[in-house]
Structure 1
Amino acid sequence: MTDETTGRATSIDVGMLDDLAGDPPARRDLLRALRGVTGAPGQDRFSASAPSILTLAEADPARHVLVVRHDGDVAGLGVLHPGGANDRMLALLDGARPQDVVLFRGFLVDHRHQGVGVGTAVAAALPGLVAALARRTGREAFALVVLVVDAENAAGLRAYTRAGFAARGTYVDEDGHTQTVMALAAS
């Protein structure tokens, strides 16, 4: 990938925090860096803060934190949550069972790394990451990766569409915002 502003090659890598379970000091340092991820002004409407995302993930062993690096620097985070799709999402997924769906949630790209393709790269990596999660947990492959994006989040909608996600429908959340449910085959 090439940075459009500088013309230089960039590297975007996505991995799982779970991979550092055997190295507590490295995991602790990475968690500190992840807690420092901040979106651009106004993006708090589309995603929770990094500390909130990590607190929820640490409290729920079903949530698996993704670490996003851009040119070696921590550039963002997200969460893979098997079985995390709610009834409103599942109703739009043609009879998918909760246990066959992995919800991608809590995705936040640091403001210093926006506009260089991080969102598209992460979205494109999701099927492989979900397959690796199935292998790691010793289960059969998941059927779908699903996510929810605010209908006003044009950058998010573009990134997910570029990666092959298809809109499956919308619902209005508790705050009155229209949310678009998008899905992609996990294998």
Structure 2
Amino acid sequence: MASGTGRSTSIDVSFLDDLAGDARSRAGLLRALRDVTGAPGQDVFSASADQILTLAEADADRYVLVVRREGQVAGVGVLHPGGASGEMLDRLDGARPQDVVVFRGFLVDRHHQGVGVGSSVAASLPALVAHLAERLGREPFASVVLVVDADNVAGRRAYSRAGFADRGAYVDANGRTQHVMALAVA
């Protein structure tokens, strides 16, 4: 679906459902996605791939993204229309939940970090959100929003480069400072 280059490598981001034409290919992709593992210490920034996929499988409003680099599964993410929390919406100047898509559960495999995967995915989000609106047969979404841990310097930098604006911070249930970042897409 959305492609880009990250430091001279080919990076592709597609919806799982667009790649998996049958049950067998879907099962294979899900196995590969469940094997995505962050670098040591990154578990404070993101859930495990298995947790991300389990939540997506339980919620039909979560759309799994497959990130591939040079043809190999390099990451996983989720687009979740209408899934903005109160903390997010409070920082979006009166945005309605149905006009916002949350980018959540993003994890880049440790073997694919540091080569531009995160930046490429961040840059591809507007096109992916537009594709999702078409797919759902609805008007375009107004914005895509995400939450990034204050200590995730590389993530915050990648999102900023892609045009996301820091809309403020809050302290989560674990006592960690989280920044809400948003990008207008309509």
TM bin (shorter chain): over 0.9
Structure 1 consecutive aligned stretches of length 4 or more whose deviation exceeds 2 Å: none
Output the CA distance in 1 between the equivalents of 2:33 and 2:6. 24
Amino acid at match of 1:142: F
TM-score for both structures, normalised by structure 2: 0.96
Output the CA distance in 2 between the equivalents of 1:88 and 1:150. 14
- In structure 2, the partner of 1:165 is 164
- Could you tell me the percent identity over the aligned residues? 72
Which blocks of at least 5 consecutive residues in structure 1 are unaligned? 4-8
Q: CA deviation at 1:20?
A: 3.7
Output the CA distance in 2 between the equivalents of 1:68 and 1:59. 21
CA contact (8 A) 2:6 2:120 kept: no
Equivalent residue runs for 1:80-95 within 5 Å: 80-95=79-94
TM-score for both structures, normalised by structure 1: 0.95
Amino acid at match of 2:157: R
Residue by residue, what CA displacement relative to the aligned partner does 1:91-138 show, whole Å, maximum 9, x if unpaired? 000000000000000000000000000000000000000000000010
Bigger Cα displacement from structure 2, 12-21 vs 147-156: 12-21
Q: CA deviation at 1:22?
A: 3.5
SS at match of 1:62: coil
The answer on 1:126 being equivalent to 2:153 is no
CA contact (8 A) 2:64 2:76 kept: yes
CA gap 1:64/1:156 in 2 versus in 1, 3 angstroms: same
Q: CA deviation at 1:88?
A: 1.0
- In structure 1, the partner of 2:36 is 37
CA contact (8 A) 2:119 2:159 kept: yes
- In structure 2, the partner of 1:6 is none
- In structure 1, the partner of 2:52 is 53
CA gap 1:23/1:45 in 2 versus in 1, 3 angstroms: same
Output the CA distance in 2 between the equivalents of 1:164 and 1:67. 22
Q: CA deviation at 1:139?
A: 0.6
- In structure 1, the partner of 2:139 is 140
- In structure 1, the partner of 2:24 is 25
CA contact (8 A) 2:63 2:78 kept: yes
Between the two proteins, the alignment pairs up a number of residues equal to 182
Amino acid at match of 1:160: Y
Q: CA deviation at 1:25?
A: 1.0
SS at match of 2:75: strand
Output the CA distance in 2 between the equivalents of 1:84 and 1:186. 16
CA gap 1:22/1:72 in 2 versus in 1, 3 angstroms: closer
Amino acid at match of 1:22: G
SS at match of 1:11: strand
SS at match of 2:148: strand
- In structure 2, the partner of 1:186 is 185
Q: CA deviation at 1:21?
A: 5.1
